[in-house]
Amino acid sequence: MDASLPAHMRPERSFQGFILALQRFWAEQGCVILQPYDMEMGAGTFHPATTLRALGPKPWNAAYVQPSRRPKDGRYGENPNRMQHYYQFQVIMKPSPPNLQELYLKSLAAIGIDSAVHDIRFVEDDWESPTLGAWGLGWECWCDGMEVSQFTYFQQVAGFECAPVAGELTYGLERLAMYVQGVDRVYDLNFNGREGDAKVTYGDVFLQAEREYSKHNFEVADTAMLFEQFKMAETACRKYLDAGWKDGKREAHLMALPAYDQCIKASHVFNLLDARGVISVTERQSYILRVRELAKACGEAWIHTEAGGAA
């Protein structure tokens, strides 16, 4: 931790200071610090900077905050730590550096978690994303019995082998910050690190949104429109993929990113439909499969682009 920081910027005092400390730490490790992707998604992994950049031979080191939308997890602002919108901090390093575990532990130190008094553990957790056609091996990282991060060595993404393998770290920011700040309710997090009248809490920023979106997600979201949107996104994705092949030959692709946006869109629309309870158990599988097919097709297009490593 940087002792020179003013109190309101310290990671144990302020949520934003906490995020800045992580960004600064990973910037110093050579990561590009990106801003959140401008689309709704269920996890930082969906960001093209992870999903697509994990594929292909080119080195890639990036870190970013990604707002994550999980419509089903909304609790109308009444649960102390479950929300339909929260932040993930995502790090991806390709190829995975040999000291990635050490870097991770140093990053914890940078946000005030001292391994001399905290019990930090790497507990087996195999990661799999059926919607992304992706899997990897790694751990849940525990701090004093609490899962604070996910640590994964990507083996496959969008149905393609990762070569080389990327290492992915995902920090649950609110949960970690709650631990560091010592609060039991996420809405009590000090957001800006100020005290008295100047203090802004997480609740001040997000509580109203949690209530509104919970109502929207569970009760009101227009399912007819959403079903339509899913179809439209799926169709558009296919259309852009088809149109992206240069000269109509499957050698080089020129539109993987716009196509992938539609895949992200379809995935989020599916999550909303799921939260509205209008998708039956059997249908659920088939929707997941449809999104996966899009993700796979996007992955295939990506590896035929310049950044995807096509010669």
Q: Which of 123, 220, 225, 243 binds another protein (CB under 8 A)?
A: 123
Residue 67 in contact with another protein, rule: CB under 8 A:
no
Q: Which of 184, 197, 219, 247 binds another protein (CB under 8 A)?
A: 184
User: 206-214 — which CB contacts under 8 Å span 24+ positions?
Assistant: 206/83, 206/85, 207/77, 208/77, 209/85, 210/74, 210/75, 210/76, 210/77, 210/83, 210/84, 210/85, 211/76, 211/77, 213/71, 213/74, 213/84, 213/85, 214/74, 214/75, 214/76, 214/77, 214/84
Structure token pair of residue 24:
């600064």
Cβ pair 90, 64 in contact under 8 A: yes
Q: Rounded to whole angstroms, how far apart are CA atoms 56 and 302? A: 8
Could you tell me the smallest distance in angstroms from the CB atom of residue 18 to another protein? 17
Residue 168 burial by CB count (10 A; 0-12/13-18/19+): exposed, middle or buried? buried
Could you tell me the smallest distance in angstroms from the CB atom of residue 178 to another protein? 9
Instruction: Show the binding pattern over residues 30-49: x = contacts another protein (CB under 8 A), - = does not.
Output: --------------------
Residue 162 in contact with another protein, rule: CB under 8 A:
yes
Q: Rounded to whole angstroms, how far apart are CA atoms 90 and 196? A: 32
Residue 311 in contact with another protein, rule: CB under 8 A:
no
Residue 6 burial by CB count (10 A; 0-12/13-18/19+): exposed, middle or buried? exposed
Could you tell me the smallest distance in angstroms from the CB atom of residue 41 to another protein? 25
Q: Which of 76, 153, 227, 245 binds another protein (CB under 8 A)?
A: 153
User: By CB under 8 A, how many residues form the interface with another protein?
Assistant: 39
Segment lying near another protein (by CB under 8 A), choices 8-16, 117-125, 188-196, 238-246:
117-125
Could you tell me the smallest distance in angstroms from the CB atom of residue 117 to another protein? 4
Cβ pair 308, 52 in contact under 8 A: yes
Q: Rounded to whole angstroms, how far apart are CA atoms 202 and 120? A: 26
CB nearer to another protein: pick between 84 and 267: 84
Q: Which of 126, 222, 228, 242 binds another protein (CB under 8 A)?
A: 126
Could you tell me the smallest distance in angstroms from the CB atom of residue 184 to another protein? 7
Segment lying near another protein (by CB under 8 A), choices 28-36, 140-148, 193-201, 248-256:
140-148
Segment lying near another protein (by CB under 8 A), choices 8-16, 23-31, 277-285, 286-294:
277-285
Residue 137 in contact with another protein, rule: CB under 8 A:
yes
Cβ pair 267, 43 in contact under 8 A: no
Residue 117 in contact with another protein, rule: CB under 8 A:
yes
DSSP letters along 104-134, please?
HHHHHHHTT--TTTS-EEEEE--EEETTTTE
Segment lying near another protein (by CB under 8 A), choices 5-13, 47-55, 66-74, 279-287:
279-287
Residues in contact with another protein by CB under 8 A are 57, 80-81, 95-98, 101, 115-124, 126, 136-139, 143-146, 153, 155, 162-165, 167, 179, 184, 280-282
